[in-house]
Amino acid sequence: MEQIKRNVPRDVFLHLLAMVTLYWSAISFITLCWQYIHYFFPDALQGYEYMGFAGPIRFAVASLVIVFPVFVLISWFLNKIYRSESVVRESKIRKWLIYLTLFVSSLVIIGDLIYVVNTFLGGEITVRFILKALVVLVVAVVIFWYYLDDVRRKEPSKWAKYVAIDCAIVVLVAIIGAFFIIGSPLNARKAQFDSQRVGDLQNIQWQIVSYWQRKQALPPTLDDLTDPISSYIVPTDPETEQSYEYRVKSASEPSFELCTTFNLEQKGQGQMQPKTPYPVDGGLFQNWDHPAGRYCFERKIDKELYPPFSKQ
């Protein structure tokens, strides 16, 4: 009797940790699968083209890499305890947590089916929707089926390890597949530098347009954009700390070009703009696609769209 009391805190901790890591792993796996669906089946009805895959995928992958192995390890350790201390398997904390998991899984399954029927009646059934609903349904059913079978048994199932192996393989494949979308950590850092370069050039471009509207002339150099009153300082390349290249092509048109060197090729920057008539990026709707290496963006200021301030 004393041994059981001594192990109660251990049992509570291990069972709670197992359930929390189970929920976390399931949510992360669903999130990762949904990002795959968003990537391969974009929704044409969205106000924005969905380009934000990297962040959710990275977080889901990071969670699965850390949390899922912890869940597997804790489950293995609990099964080991069950074999040596059968009373632990019959503990109230374990049964309460398992039935709570069955309850949550049941609600998810019911809610998912209601959502499917409701969406179908609304005429919004698409491949994208069906796959997302199917992912949630499959994960919830697998969890419900496994723990419903487990809670009925007096000892751990012999095929529990095969279920763990199958789940581990599925999770591993999902994680590996994510790197084909977001790239390696090294490429991710290179992409961040390129994204910062594009942001800097957009900022400089708007400052040049503003300069022309105020003075009816293009700045001779980028240093002329520096304004101590507004505290504007021309940014430099975030990786090399070198100045961006700027050249006036025509003072009368007026037109200019901005150049820099990129790490990676980037396509689809223009698709990141919202599908609305309202201006973004300072009202400059140029495309910012670029190849890897040195590249120049040529710009021409439309005098009717951006008239001098004195004529407004």
Cis check: omega of the bond before 254, within 30 degrees of 0? yes
Q: Domain residue spans in the chain?
A: 2-183, 186-311
245-250 and 293-300 strand pairing: unpaired
Contacts of 306 (CB under 8 A, 6+ apart): 209, 212, 213, 283
Q: What pLDDT sits at residue 286?
A: 54
| Distance from C-alpha of 213 to C-alpha of 91, rounded to nearest angstrom | 76
Contact 256, 208 (CB under 8 A): yes
- Distance (Å, whole) CA 244 – CA 263: 15
DSSP element (H, E) containing 134? helix 127-152
pLDDT, position 44: 61
Phi, psi (deg, nearest 5) at residue 286: -75, 160
Helix (H, G, I), strand (E, B) or coil at 278: coil
DSSP string for 164-233: HHHHHHHHHHHHHHHHHHH--HHHHHHHHHHHHHHHHHHHHHHHHHHHHHHHSS--SSGGGG-BTTTTB-
pLDDT value at residue 237: 95
Return the residue matching tokens 């069906």: 130
Q: Give residue 52's pLDDT.
A: 60
Query: pLDDT value at position 96?
Result: 87
What mean pLDDT is reported for the chain?
82
Alpha carbons within 13 angstroms on the beta-carbon side of residue 98 total 17
Chunked into runs of 10 residues, the chain (312 residues) has average pLDDT values of 56 88 92 88 56 78 94 89 79 85 87 78 73 88 87 75 88 91 81 92 94 92 89 92 94 93 78 40 62 94 86 57
